[in-house]
């Protein structure tokens, strides 16, 4: 399109005094009325309050944990014992335990979440769809103490067989090895398998699955309709369409959702505390009885801790805080990137 710019000078006849061009165009400023200014101030305050709360959590964990961190220095990250009053404490073992539980949880929950999400968006009949969405949301709403209860009294007994089977056949992989297990003795006591990171992880998976599923479902439902139809028009089956359109499009959502789940799994307290029996050594044998996590350690020890012991717990909490924050920021970066271009304005 051609834009015709007219210089005001061209219209002047010869001899007229030149009209100076307006040096700066009039600025259009919207001045908000008083009601709106108050409204914006209140809204801004609420937003800042949330920021301040999150900042304060980090700040006060740091303040309270400084004593312990100063006393141990780098040793805090490498020591595996937890005896603050003897000066011997660190998060090496409990952090490893936290990650093991989270890893079991995520690797259990992720396939189920992905299957459910794809089933809801692409496979299920429409009437079933809303029911399934409710089901997944309800799973997220069930309190963690109830999952813990279920894991401790019901699921643990059911899964011991699986633990034994895994050790028997895959015991040569270090993760699945169990100290003191005797696969050749059918009457062997199963207590070596109870209260393990594996069982705690699967129970945590129940809490993690709904979050992963809802993030993935949201991303899968934003797959451009044109590309889906295009795949069908080229003769793809439904699975073919999912493989070549939905999965590549939703990759960011899959990664982000999985990591959001990881963030949850790292911080889960009560279910882990109910199931696991605390142990402070570094090992990766997830099927073996005993394990630990930062959150459950705090809940277990805060009441009987000395002031210095409390400071050590705060320091451990600070590490957990930083790790979950990093995981979550990365996750939301992935999710946001996959959503870019999809506008929410109706």
Partner 1 sequence: MTTFETLERLEKAEAAAEAAVEAEIAVEAAAEAPGSGTRIPDVVATNAPPNSLRTLSGMSRDDVLTLLGAGASSLCITWLLFGVLTPLSGPLGFVVVAWAIFLVVYGLMVSMTESRPVMVDKVMSAVLATGAVVAFIALASVIIFTLIKGKDALTTWNLYTQDMSETGPADSITQGGIGHAIVGTLIIIGIAIIVTVPLGLTCAVFLTETNNKLTGFVRTVVDAMTALPSILAGLFIFATWILILGFERSGLAAAVAVSIMMLPIIIRSADVVLRLVPGNLREASAALGAPEWRTVWHVVLPTARPGLATAVILGIARGIGETAPVLLTSGFAASMNVDPRSNAMVSLPLATFEFVRSPQPALIARGFATAAVLMVLVLILFAIARILGGRQAGQVSKRQRRRLQARSARDLRRIEGLDGEDFMYVEPPPVAPLSSSAPIPPPPSPPAPEGVS
Segment 136 to 175, residues that bind partner 1, using CB under 8 A: 136-139, 141-150, 152-154, 158-159, 161-162, 165
Enumerate residues 4-63 that contact partner 1 by CB under 8 A: 32-33, 35-36, 38-40, 42-51, 53-54, 56-57, 60-61, 63
- Beta carbon of residue 326, minimum distance to partner 1 (angstroms, whole number): 10
Among 71, 103, 112, 284, binds partner 1 (CB under 8 A): 112
Give, for 39, the enclosing helix (H) or strand (E). Answer: helix 34-72
Count of residues near partner 1 by CB under 8 A: 109
From the list 11-19, 69-77, 81-89, 307-315, the region that binds partner 1 by CB under 8 A is 307-315
Q: Give the span between the Cα atoms of 118 and 134, in whole angstroms.
A: 15
Q: How far is the CA of 250 from the CAs of 65, 75, 140, 215, 303, in angstroms?
A: 40, 42, 22, 10, 45
Interface of this chain with partner 1, residues 211 to 270, rule: CB under 8 A: 213, 221, 225, 228-229, 232, 237-240, 242, 260, 263-264, 266-270
**CA distance readout (Å), 186 to 181, 289, 292, 301:** 11, 19, 29, 38
Which of 197/273 has CB closer to partner 1? 273
- With contact defined as beta carbons under 8 Å apart, do 286 and 100 qualify? yes
Closest CA to 323 of 130, 96, 146: 96
**Could you tell me which stretch among 1-9, 16-24, 115-123, 175-183 binds partner 1 (CB under 8 A)?**
115-123
Stretch of 66-74, 77-85, 282-290, 317-325 lying at the interface with partner 1 (CB under 8 A) = 317-325
**Pattern of binders to partner 1 over 77-96, x per CB under 8 A?**
--------------------
Residues ≥6 apart with Cβ < 8 Å to 241? 122, 228, 231, 232
Rounded to a whole number, what is the largest CA-CA distance in the chain? Answer: 116
Shortest distance in whole angstroms from residue 69 CB to partner 1 = 15
Stretch that binds partner 1, among 66-74, 87-95, 132-140, 247-255 (CB under 8 A): 132-140
* 77 contacts 294 by C-beta, under 8 angstroms: no
Reduced to 3 states (helix: H, G, I; strand: E, B; else coil), residue 89 is strand
Expressed in angstroms, the distance from the first to the final Cα of the chain is 30
Q: Which is nearer to partner 1, 214 or 283 (CB)?
A: 214
Of the listed pieces 3-11, 133-141, 174-182, 279-287, which binds partner 1 according to CB under 8 A?
A: 133-141
């Amino acid at each position: 399109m051609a834009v015709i710019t007219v210089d005001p000078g061209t219209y002047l006849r010869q001899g007229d005094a030149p009209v100076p061009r307006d040096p700066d165009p009039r600025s259009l400023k919207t001045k908000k009325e008083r009601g709106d200014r108050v409204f914006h101030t209140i809204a801004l305050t609420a937003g800042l309050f949330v920021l301040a709360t999150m900042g304060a959590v980090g700040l006060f964990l740091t303040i309270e944990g400084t004593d312990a961190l100063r006393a141990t220095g780098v040793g805090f990250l490498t020591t595996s014992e937890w005896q603050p009053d003897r000066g011997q404490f660190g998060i090496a073992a409990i952090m490893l335990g936290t990650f093991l539980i989270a890893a079991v949880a995520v690797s259990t929950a992720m396939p189920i979440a992905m299957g459910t999400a794809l089933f809801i968006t692409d496979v299920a009949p429409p009437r079933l769809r809303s029911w399934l969405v409710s089901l997944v949301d309800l799973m997220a709403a069930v309190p963690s103490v109830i999952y813990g209860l279920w894991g401790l009294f019901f699921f643990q007994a059911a899964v011991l067989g699986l633990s034994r089977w895994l050790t028997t056949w895959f015991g040569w992989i270090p993760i699945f090895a169990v100290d003191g297990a005797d696969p050749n003795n059918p009457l062997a006591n199963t207590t070596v398998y109870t209260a393990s990171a594996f069982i705690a992880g699967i129970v945590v998976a129940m809490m993690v699955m709904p979050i992963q599923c809802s993030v993935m479902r949201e991303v899968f439902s934003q797959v451009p309709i044109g590309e889906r139809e295009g795949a069908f028009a080229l003769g793809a089956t439904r699975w073919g369409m999912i493989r070549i359109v939905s999965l590549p499009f939703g990759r960011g959502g899959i990664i982000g959702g999985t990591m959001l789940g990881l963030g949850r799994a790292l911080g889960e307290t009560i279910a882990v505390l109910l199931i696991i029996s605390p142990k402070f050594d570094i090992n990766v044998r997830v099927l073996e009885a005993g394990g630990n996590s930062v959150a459950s350690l705090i809940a277990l020890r805060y009441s009987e801790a000395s002031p210095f012991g409390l400071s050590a717990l705060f320091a451990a909490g600070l590490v957990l805080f930083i790790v979950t924050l990093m995981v979550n920021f990365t996750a939301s970066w992935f999710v946001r990137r996959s959503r870019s271009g999809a506008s929410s304005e109706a």
